[in-house]
Structure 1
């Protein structure tokens, strides 16, 4: 059955998540992490632990969190192990170089994203991309996928003092768009987006195909759950 989401007439702007909402970036994450972990001295059996399933359950809370949890998983250590935490800055240096080179080469825009964003803009809604991915990587990916022109603003996980699911990034993004949180819809794929939106006072629409840490997204309260962004009216 085709889903649809009719936005309240009060909505004046939209904030859109990136990974798992607009672009399937699991391939990018997996390839970059494999290069990074190899640079960190991981052996083949350790590299094999960080597979696509692990990455799909881990992404969404920022690069530092992803690197820490990936190192720990590869080495068979707890996430909060002191050795793992101490190695994250070095891993970040390797990761940054690989991601800049490979960003977007192993990812695909989800069906209905480009047309859905254009539809929102045609209705007069200014758009902002808000992601926990570093801003430079987000800008680069949107450019490479032909989506950057849709957005008045792009804010990454390093743009503000806190990341989603904290509401601060949404509140600041609403300020940049010039509209109150209650008049700004958040479009995302995970409980991170929903929690941040609820705390900020934004209504939220969730896509059904993204990365929600292995939990059914339909269990997360939202204005609507949709299969494509162009199902928003």
Structure 2
């Protein structure tokens, strides 16, 4: 086997969580006194192009978008701490209620486990929310390790989370496959020295994921052919 373990992303790779994000963000904006028109701006297309770099980034960009401000506007930045308090409360209550496991994800994880592949889940979602979602969707037992965006000093696309996850798995990065859905995952994997496979159905900030170099681009996780992944990066 070319690899000793696999690191799997969560949002957009295992579970379609856009519905969760939209509902939680709407509640958060309402708590902050936003008008219905402002709240309506935070729709599925906006969220799909915005998620992936952690909750703080999502909140800042959401507030700016709702208020018609630039992404890095000081008013939006200043409002993030208060928004985060409301966001946490709503997400804890609603996590998983408006999301679905992608077709083939459960089967793909089972196939890897049956082949003896150690698995870790690595996401920019806070660890507590990741654990809660994996439990709710019946996926937690597949993973020996789960790390969220608050587990390490930096988040993907920084390579540190992948390097630390490899250390926790006891495997070298070059022998640890990263499976994700976005350029964030690919960028982090390349910088950490991990090979990467990308699913074609997730969230990649509105850009075609097939344009991002990877060992393979797969339409379902159960299409991952573990034994044939010693292919050159294309």
TM normalised by structure 2 equals: 0.95
In the alignment, which of 109, 114, 121 is matched to residue 129 of structure 1? Answer: 121
1:144 aligns with 2:136: yes
RCO higher in 1 or 2 (8 Å CA, sep ≥ 6)? 1
The alpha-carbon deviation at position 203 of structure 1 amounts to: 0.5
C-alpha deviation, 1:10, in angstroms: 2.1
Number of residue pairs aligned between Structure 1 and Structure 2 = 225
Aligned residue for 1:170, secondary structure, equals helix
User: Per-residue displacement from partner, 1:77-133 (whole Å, max 9, x unpaired)?
Assistant: 112211111110000000000000000000000011111101111111110000000
1:207 aligns with 2:199: yes
Q: Deviations over 1:151-173 (max 9, x none)?
A: 00000000000000000000000
Unaligned runs of 5+ in 2: 226-234
Partner of 1:184: 176
Runs of at least 5 residues in structure 1 that lack an aligned partner in the other structure: 1-8
1:166 paired residue number: 158
When the two structures are superposed, what TM-score results if normalisation uses the length of structure 1? 0.96
What is aligned with 1:40?
32
Runs of 4+ in 1 over 6 A off after TM superposition: none
Match of 1:6 in 2: none
- Structure 2 counterpart of 1:230: 222
1:9-50: CA deviation from partner (whole Å, max 9, x where unpaired) = 220100000000000000000000000000011001101111
